[in-house]
Structure 1
Amino acid sequence: MKFTEVNIRKMLHKDYAHMAKWLSTKEVLEFFGDVNAPFTIEQVKTKYEPRVNREVLVFPYIVELNETPAGFMQQYKISKEKQEEFGYPSPCSVYGIDQFIGEPELFNQGLGTIMVTNFIGYLFRTTDAEIIIVDPEVTNVRAIRCYEKCGFRKVKKVNEKTNWLMDFNSGRMKNL
């Protein structure tokens, strides 16, 4: 499928209903949440309202496909302690990102690659990021394949070897 217009915008209060729908979808919850605990709209509001209001330093975004919400992304700066745990030098600026496509019928069509590639470029242009990391579950083959297509490399297994730490260095931007 050819995606004609993919836009990533800041998440707004009006997006809670989409998030509640997506976070109640088995395919999304398989790797982003708990399959046995779908989110209610109140749970979404409790978790994401402080982020939307910029009260916490995790910044949420909605991915739109032809002006229709289709997915979620977020970015956050990694703490110096976590950087050291992962093996990145202190003076380096490391950001983490998380994302999912909310509509399962859009899986395996290249949308994730477009989302992640666009978001990487956005973060390097608008923040002090030098390295961007993701940590997909080792069993999430679709996400790992997407990240590798976008230029991420596997660094090491983390979280008791249940997740891959993968990174993208700003030096690889010329390949985008």
Structure 2
Amino acid sequence: MILDKELHIRLMKSGDFDLMVKWLNDQRVLEFYEEPPSNLGRVINKYGPRIEGKHYVIPCIVEYKNESIGYIQYYEIPETELKKYDYQGNQNIYGIDQFIGEPKLWGKGIGTKIIQMMLNYLCNKGASKVLLEVKNDNVRAISSYKKCGFKRIKDLNNNLVLMEWIAKID
């Protein structure tokens, strides 16, 4: 789907469920990713419909040097969700959520590259803006998002911050 020298973002498939269970049970990952510890049934129930195209969220797996290392999802934000953030509908506003599931790879600039790749991809799909929520104490992620051009918009409930990236129009 999206390919760079060492990084590949591809669509998630059912063969990735066990990886997701592994990552979603790592306390270091869950400290920053808004999800409870998981099991195979929960992963299948949540991600199965997404893989099958029965949900608006598009799930992807990130590979680094041919090893699966993380997860990223993207979606056009539904109008009802946009209102929650005080945005008007029909603006081609996308959302993304992601994590690197292998903590040994944190702090190496890989996350920043993944985000940049996804932003380029979404820009080519016509995105005008991309929004994300991040825990306000996730300093490493916030720094990465800022490097990619995200700006802090406002504080949300539950210690979350809304950040926005605006596509550059040529």
Letter in 1 for 2:160: N
Q: Is 1:164 paired with 2:165?
A: no
2:151 aligns with 153
Instruction: Decide whether the 8 Å contact of 1:134 with 1:166 is kept in 2.
Output: yes
After the TM superposition, which residues 60-71 of structure 1 pair with which residues of structure 2 at under 5 Å, given as runs? 60-71=59-70
Question: What does the per-residue CA deviation read over 1:35-87, in whole Å, with 9 as the maximum and x for residues that have no partner?
Answer: xx421122211111111111111110000001110000001111223223323
Question: What does the per-residue CA deviation read over 1:99-138, in whole Å, with 9 as the maximum and x for residues that have no partner?
Answer: 000001001111100110001111111x231100011011
CA distance in 1, matches of 2:49, 2:114: 24
For normalisation by structure 1, the TM-score amounts to: 0.88
CA distance in 1, matches of 2:47, 2:39: 12
Letter in 1 for 2:167: S
Change (3 A) 1:81 1:108: same
Instruction: Decide whether the 8 Å contact of 1:28 with 1:100 is kept in 2.
Output: yes
Letter in 1 for 2:130: I
CA distance in 1, matches of 2:141, 2:135: 9
Aligned residues: 167
Instruction: Decide whether the 8 Å contact of 1:10 with 1:62 is kept in 2.
Output: yes
1:79 aligns with 78
Instruction: Decide whether the 8 Å contact of 1:94 with 1:130 is kept in 2.
Output: yes
The CA deviation at 1:4 is: 5.1
Instruction: Decide whether the 8 Å contact of 1:6 with 1:115 is kept in 2.
Output: yes
1:55 aligns with 54
Q: Is 1:5 paired with 2:6?
A: yes
1:144 aligns with 142
The CA deviation at 1:10 is: 0.4
Instruction: Note the aligned Cα RMSD (angstroms).
Output: 1.7
For normalisation by structure 2, the TM-score amounts to: 0.91
Q: Is 1:112 paired with 2:111?
A: yes
2:17 aligns with 16
Question: What does the per-residue CA deviation read over 1:3-49, in whole Å, with 9 as the maximum and x for residues that have no partner?
Answer: 95110000011111111110010111112145xx4211222111111
Instruction: Decide whether the 8 Å contact of 1:96 with 1:133 is kept in 2.
Output: yes
2:123 aligns with 124
Letter in 2 for 1:17: D
SS of 2:135's partner is: coil
Letter in 2 for 1:47: K
SS of 1:38's partner is: coil
SS of 1:43's partner is: helix
Runs of 5+ consecutive residues of structure 2 not aligned to the other structure: none
Letter in 2 for 1:7: H
